[in-house]
């Protein structure tokens, strides 16, 4: 059991005693990679893969295959990562054999070299995929496959697909995966702009519970002539992504036509989704132009709020926020547009507090504000520029 896998297989062939001992020494192998790094070429041969998996395949939980490896001896693997750089007529069997034989697979990532044309997925035993949580593939997902994925893979949470590997109507069908929260949609040079636009609209209008989204241009850098790049017209289609109000992470890798207005639209949408967070107690929205009265006046239940350099909030919005947040104990308004009216409003609102919570209000001092005499014992004004906001 202390020997590496190739040596275990080698000694198995030496004599009957070693063979007998070797047959017992495989259960410790739970995670294995065929290929990658510096390997003897014969260790990548399908025959070697078959022989090795016949010994420890029943114990594996994580498997990584590189190049042209092929086997169906994988009954209980949960995690599969395959990178195929070489293509021949037998290659499609790699994916299909795995998906049709593994009964416990949760994570499946099958990556093709960009020069390989995407074949169709052909799965017979869909019941094997009931526990599938991640599917990453450049195999073509046709309409029938999309229907099956929606029917059988209800636990699918993460999907990694490429534009030429998916039919547009199939993408629409996949939006019915209710538990999906992570999507990686990539494409290469040559994609029709209307195809990309339709994909963005599909994702934005129907996959509204996504938390993690990556849209990337995977065109090889060598294909781009920097000296002859034509200027991109900014696209407003990305504004549609503002409909994804549960979004926590957005990656728009190499998207040169992604414009500032789309970022602003998405950020503003994300701000409004914060309003529904019932247990939110601390919030920092300083230096964000999208913070307006419409947002600030709807916040509730906060204990600490920082709005430094928020130029688009007024006294009316801030006073309403103070009424909504009776437990507010720290409010930072440095370099905002609030006036003495907010200070007066804070004084009047906190006078009625019965929770024994003191509000510390930090603001830029002014001649008018310095003359204010407060009545509330639950309000402490902290004028200045460098006081700690809490």
Distance CA 268, CA 379 (A): 31
User: Is 70 exceeded by the pLDDT of residue 175?
Assistant: yes
* % of the chain residues with pLDDT over 90: 23
Please compute the mean of the pLDDT values over residues 11-35 and round it to a whole number: 72
More confident residue, 321 or 94: 321
- Mean pLDDT is lowest, of 89-98, 239-248, 287-296, 344-353, for 89-98
- Residue 184 vs residues 34, 140, 212, 252: alpha-carbon distances, Å: 26, 15, 8, 10
Please compute the mean of the pLDDT values over residues 13-29 and round it to a whole number: 72
Distance CA 171, CA 318 (A): 44
Please check whether residue 94 is in contact with residue 70, taking contact to mean a CB–CB distance below 8 angstroms: yes
pLDDT at 299: 93
Please check whether residue 80 is in contact with residue 63, taking contact to mean a CB–CB distance below 8 angstroms: yes
Q: How many CB atoms are located within 10 Å of the residue 187 CB?
A: 20
Q: Which residue has the tokens 């086997």?
A: 71
Sheet holding 107-112, edge to edge: 31-34, 62-66, 79-84, 107-112, 134-137, 158-162, 182-187, 212-217, 249-251
Please check whether residue 318 is in contact with residue 295, taking contact to mean a CB–CB distance below 8 angstroms: no
- Residue 16 vs residues 1, 10, 22: alpha-carbon distances, Å: 17, 12, 10
Please check whether residue 143 is in contact with residue 173, taking contact to mean a CB–CB distance below 8 angstroms: yes
Q: Which residue has the tokens 């993690």?
A: 212
Please check whether residue 252 is in contact with residue 230, taking contact to mean a CB–CB distance below 8 angstroms: no
The upper half-sphere exposure of residue 381, i.e. CA atoms within 13 Å in the direction of its Cβ, equals 21
More confident residue, 133 or 166: 133
User: Is 50 exceeded by the pLDDT of residue 232?
Assistant: no
Bridge partners for 166 per DSSP: 141
Please check whether residue 191 is in contact with residue 167, taking contact to mean a CB–CB distance below 8 angstroms: no
Domain locations in the chain as residue ranges: 27-274, 282-383
Please compute the mean of the pLDDT values over residues 116-130 and round it to a whole number: 73
Q: What is the CA radius of gyration of the chain?
A: 29
- Mean pLDDT is lowest, of 73-77, 182-186, 229-233, 267-271, for 229-233
Question: Would you say the C-alpha torsion 201, 203, 204, 205 has a positive or negative sign?
Answer: positive
User: Is 60 exceeded by the pLDDT of residue 41?
Assistant: no
pLDDT at 110: 72
CATH of 27-274, one of 3.80.10, 3.40.50, 3.40.720, 3.30.2310: 3.80.10
């Amino acid at each position: 059991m202390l020997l590496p896998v190739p040596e275990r297989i080698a000694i198995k062939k030496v004599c009957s005693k070693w063979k007998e001992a070797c047959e017992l020494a495989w259960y410790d192998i739970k995670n294995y990679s065929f290929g990658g790094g510096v390997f003897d070429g014969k260790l990548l041969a399908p025959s070697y893969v078959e022989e090795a998996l016949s010994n420890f395949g029943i114990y594996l939980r994580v498997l990584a295959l590189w190049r042209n490896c092929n086997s169906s001896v994988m009954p209980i693997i949960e995690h599969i990562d395959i990178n195929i750089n070489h293509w021949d007529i037998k290659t499609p069997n790699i994916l299909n054999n795995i998906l049709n034989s593994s009964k416990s697979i949760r994570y499946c990532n099958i990556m093709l070299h960009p020069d390989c044309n995407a074949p169709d997925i052909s799965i017979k035993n869909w019941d094997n995929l009931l526990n599938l949580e991640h599917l990453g593939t450049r195999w073509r997902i046709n309409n029938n496959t999309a229907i099956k994925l929606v029917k059988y893979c209800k636990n699918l949470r993460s999907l990694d697909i490429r534009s030429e590997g998916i039919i547009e109507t199939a993408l629409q069908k996949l939006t019915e995966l209710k538990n999906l929260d992570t999507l990686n949609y990539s494409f290469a040079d040559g994609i029709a702009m209307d195809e990309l636009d339709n994909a963005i609209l599909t994702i934005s209008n129907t996959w509204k519970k996504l938390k993690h989204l990556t849209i990337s241009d995977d065109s090889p850098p060598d294909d781009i002539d920097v000296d002859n790049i034509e200027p991109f017209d900014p696209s407003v289609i990305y504004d549609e992504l503002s409909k994804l109000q549960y979004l926590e992470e957005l990656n728009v890798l190499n998207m040169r036509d992604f414009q500032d207005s789309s970022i602003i639209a998405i950020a503003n949408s994300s701000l409004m989704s914060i309003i529904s967070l019932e247990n939110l107690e601390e919030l920092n929205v300083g230096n964000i132009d999208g913070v307006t009265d419409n947002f600030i006046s709807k916040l509730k239940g906060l204990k600490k709020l920082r709005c430094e350099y928020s130029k688009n909030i007024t006294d009316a919005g801030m006073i309403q926020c103070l009424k909504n947040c009776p437990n507010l104990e720290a409010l930072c308004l440095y370099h905002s547009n609030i006036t003495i009216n907010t200070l007066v409003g804070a004084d009047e609102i906190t006078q009625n507090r019965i929770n024994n919570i003191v509000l510390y209000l930090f603001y830029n001092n002014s001649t008018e504000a310095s003359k204010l005499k407060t009545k509330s014992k639950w309000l402490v004004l902290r004028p200045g520029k460098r006081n700690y906001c809490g």
